[in-house]
Amino acid sequence: MSAAQQQPQQRHGPWTGVRVLDLTGLSGAYGTRVWAALGADVICVEPPVGSPIRQMPPLAPGHSGPEASLWWAYYGATKRSVVLDPTNAGDAAALVNLIGSADVVLDDAPPATQETYPWLAAQGEGGLGVAGIVEKFPHLTWVSITPFGMTGPRREWRSSNLIGWASCGLASTVGFPHGPPLTPAGEIGVLMHGASLHALIGSMLSVRTRNQAGASGEPALGQTIDLSLQEVGLWLSPETGVPLYLDDQVPRPRAGNRRPVTSPMGMYPASDGYVAIIAIQPTHWNAVAQWVHELTGNEGILDEIFVDIVVRREALEAVDAWVEELTTQFTKQELFVEGQRRRIPITPVNTVGDLRHDPHLEAVGWWRTEEHPVLGTYTVPGSPFTTDGDWWAWQRAPMLGEHTDEVLGSLS
């Protein structure tokens, strides 16, 4: 068996010994990926057709089927895959046993489904859903991730990452002043990531609290955790979202790719893309003004009145135009290097290609190489933080049902 085919399950890290079942799609995928990387045994319970993430494009060039999705290659890393069909009596019984072996379960099924789960009735569990499960397994932490929570008049409304952005008010703040709201961050499910990270935090704290209680001789009980995408979005938006408007409830205009606090502040065109510039402090502005003057001969920009950020805000269009005369004459990298020399906060707006060949990320060894029996060799992002203890575990994403026999066999 080649190295790419081997999938050892040696665990290390602060959460070694904890088992997490992932019954979710995108809403829990990133959080459970972090659980797994930090040592937990994360098992993705997939239907026979596979997790919906396995169908998400882009697909690896020249590949098709359940192993082809690059999203799955990323989100599935370091997890195990078990295929079960709860409509089958044998699989339903196996799923109940698997849930009982877990410390944490993450579920994104609709509230009514989580409350009933008809396959439980077939196992003599009364069809009580989550309530019946946690009564049967009181040590278990059950995390529900739904669009609007498990209670309330909108609990059964269907949703998505985009609807989540709209419902929490964040979408109303993204876009240009005279245009429609825009979805943030393109294709990626940032709000789903936010929800799964909060699920991660909540479930880790629940396991820690349970373990502390058990160690002190008290009942070692889990928790039920209820996450709403809408509420997570509200929590994440202190600067641009609803909390900003609570004082007078008056929506502010969308700001586009500039911040109307002052100028320059935002994204400015270079000859090969864009750079981000922020010049709030007087020393930053004076350096920008001097650079523009040297390049264009603009005398007005040196007027001391523009040192005041309020004045620059009132003259925002003119100041932005002056700054663009500078930025459009250089590449992103040239602006970055010269800006650093002049002590101006300027940075390139990196593309994926820029990042993949970024000398800093290369120097710190952030990118990692993985091998997969279907996809071959590919590069993935490294860990979001490092520790002296080398907590992070790295394994390729599992193939569909790769660990079914192994995991279910251990329960018998």
In a domain, 249, yes or no: no
Q: Which long-range contacts (CB under 8 A, 24 or more apart) does 296-302 make?
A: 296/322, 296/325, 296/326, 298/322, 298/325
Residue 257 DSSP SS3: coil
Residue 134 and residue 215 share a domain: yes
In a domain, 251, yes or no: no
Per-residue confidence (pLDDT) for residue 305, from 0 to 100: 96
The mean of the pLDDT values for the chain is 89
Residue 208 and residue 293 share a domain: no
The residue out of 312, 333, 356 marking a domain boundary is 356
In a domain, 209, yes or no: yes
Residue 335 and residue 397 share a domain: no
DSSP-derived pairing of the beta strands 141-146 and 224-228: parallel
Q: Please, are residues 387 and 399 in contact by the beta-carbon 8 Å criterion?
A: no
In a domain, 86, yes or no: yes
The model's pLDDT over 342-364, given as tens digits with 9 standing for 90+, comes to 999 999 999 988 999 899 999 99
Residue 156 and residue 84 share a domain: yes
Cα dihedral: 253, 254, 255, 256 (round 10): -150
Q: What CATH number is given to the structural domain containing 329?
A: 3.30.1540.10
The residue out of 309, 328, 356 marking a domain boundary is 356
pLDDT band at residue 193 using 50, 70 and 90 as cut-offs: confident
What pTM value is reported for the model? 0.88
155 pLDDT exceeds 80?
Answer: yes
- Distance between CA atoms of 326 and 319, rounded to whole angstroms? 11
Calculate Rg over the CA atoms of the chain. Answer: 26
In a domain, 208, yes or no: yes
Residue 104 and residue 214 share a domain: yes
Q: Please, are residues 144 and 107 in contact by the beta-carbon 8 Å criterion?
A: yes
Residue 232 and residue 121 share a domain: yes
Q: What CATH number is given to the structural domain containing 115?
A: 3.40.50.10540
- Distance between CA atoms of 63 and 216, rounded to whole angstroms? 53
Residue 84 and residue 63 share a domain: yes
The separation between CA 46 and the C-alpha centre of its own chain, rounded to angstroms, equals 21
Region of residue 248 (phi > 0: left; psi between -120 and 50: alpha; otherwise: beta): alpha
Residue 125 and residue 273 share a domain: no
237 pLDDT exceeds 90?
Answer: no
Nearest to 327 by CA among 308, 347, 341: 347
312 pLDDT exceeds 50?
Answer: yes
Residue 299 and residue 174 share a domain: no
Q: Please, are residues 267 and 257 in contact by the beta-carbon 8 Å criterion?
A: yes
Residue 51 and residue 122 share a domain: yes
- Distance between CA atoms of 42 and 162, rounded to whole angstroms? 27
| CB-CB neighbours of 410 under 10 Å | 10
The residue out of 356, 381, 403 marking a domain boundary is 356
* Domain of residue 87, residue span: 19-241+366-411
In a domain, 171, yes or no: yes
The model's pLDDT over 63-104, given as tens digits with 9 standing for 90+, comes to 999 999 999 999 999 999 999 998 888 898 899 999 999 999
Cα dihedral: 131, 47, 400, 69 (round 10): -100
Instruction: Give how far Cα 382 sits from Cα of 12, 34, 45, 356, 394, Å.
Output: 17, 12, 25, 12, 9
In a domain, 157, yes or no: yes
Q: Please, are residues 114 and 129 in contact by the beta-carbon 8 Å criterion?
A: yes
Nearest to 379 by CA among 370, 366, 387: 370
Point out which residues pair with 378 in neighbouring strands: 370
Secondary structure letter of residue 142 according to DSSP: E
Per-residue confidence (pLDDT) for residue 166, from 0 to 100: 84
Residue 395 tokens read as 């394994």
Mean pLDDT confidence for 171-181: 86
Adjacency order of strands within the sheet including 224-228: 80-83, 41-46, 19-22, 104-107, 141-146, 224-228
In a domain, 257, yes or no: no
**Residue 34 identity (one-letter amino acid):** V
Residue 327 and residue 401 share a domain: no
End-to-end CA distance of the chain: 27
Please count the structural domains in the chain: 2
- Distance between CA atoms of 194 and 76, rounded to whole angstroms? 17
Residue 190 and residue 55 share a domain: yes
Q: Which of 10-14, 169-173, 225-229 has the lowest mean pLDDT?
A: 10-14
Helices marked H in 59-189 — which ranges?
70-75, 89-100, 111-116, 118-121, 129-136, 161-167
